[in-house]
A and B are shown apart, each in its own frame.
Chain A
Amino acid sequence: EVQLLESGGGLVQPGGSLRLSCAASGFTFSSSAMSWVRQAPGQGLEWVSSITPSGDGTYYADSVKGRFTISRDNSKSTLYLQMNSLGADDTAVYYCAKDSPVATIWGQGALVTVSS
């Protein structure tokens, strides 16, 4: 069974940093592009970032470019999202998703709250 399990969410002060992780299992991680999609409270879905299977290609939404960094460790079947210079607008549930640009399988999400 394909599973994606996010971790690393929590409360962070404005201007702070946080790193999300997504542990994957049940499929060949190194063969799959991966994505992060977020959802602000009560709002719709917003694509954040994607990475190619080997990690040599990364893509970002304009809203996070220069602040967020997506990466992966294929030896650990784990996807990461390093988030810096966080602001209130970054408060959201962050979902890890298999494949890109169509997200075929989604994790349960990690809540990131940016507040003082």
Chain B
Amino acid sequence: EIVMTQSPATLSVSPGERATLSCRASQSVSSNLAWYQQKPGQAPRLLIYGASTRATGIPARFSGSGSGTEFTLTISSLQSEDFAVYYCQQYNKWPPGTFGQGTKVEIK
């Protein structure tokens, strides 16, 4: 099973600043990686798939990059509604589609 490791566990960022979240796979997953956002008490929401393609309705301030084992989710200018937990998920070797443990983006 491919293990996904996200860092940092918690990221403290001021509104308007850039946030950079990392996700590392234990082996190559090509570009078969998705990012999800989860706010407290809500279901997750798909942000990015194919490592860099934004899902429908996702603002352009969210961008994904990387391939192989190293991936990055960048939020260019954090808005108040962006403070949440973010998960990466590989689907190159599926099933199972393994998730990372999450990165919490909190207000600094």
A residues with CB within 8 A of B: 37, 44-47, 50, 59-62, 95, 100-109
Contacts and interface: CB of A to CB of B under 8 A. Distances in A.
Contact of A44 (B43, B95, B100): B100
16 contacts: A44-B100, A44-B102, A45-B36, A45-B89, A46-B99, A59-B95, A100-B97, A101-B94, A102-B46, A103-B44, A103-B46, A105-B46, A106-B43, A106-B45, A106-B46, A108-B42
B71 interface: no
Given A60-B95, A104-B55, A45 B44 contact: yes
A101 B34 CA distance: 10
A62 B55 CA distance: 29
B87 interface: yes
B49 A102 contact: yes
Contacts, number: 54
B101 A44 contact: yes
B99 A61 contact: no
Contacts of B44: 37, 45, 95, 103, 106
B48 to A, nearest CB: 10
A40 to B, nearest CB: 12
Contacts of A60: 95
Contact of B95 (A50, A104, A109): A50
Contact of B91 (A62, A101, A107, A108): A101
A64 to B, nearest CB: 10
Contacts of B46: 102-106
Nearest to A49: B95
A68 to B, nearest CB: 13
Given A102-B34, A104-B55, A47 B43 contact: no
Between A102, A104, A108, A109, the greatest number of chain B beta carbons within 10 A of the residue's beta carbon is seen for A102
B97 A101 contact: yes
A101 B97 CA distance: 7
B20 interface: no
Nearest to B42: A108
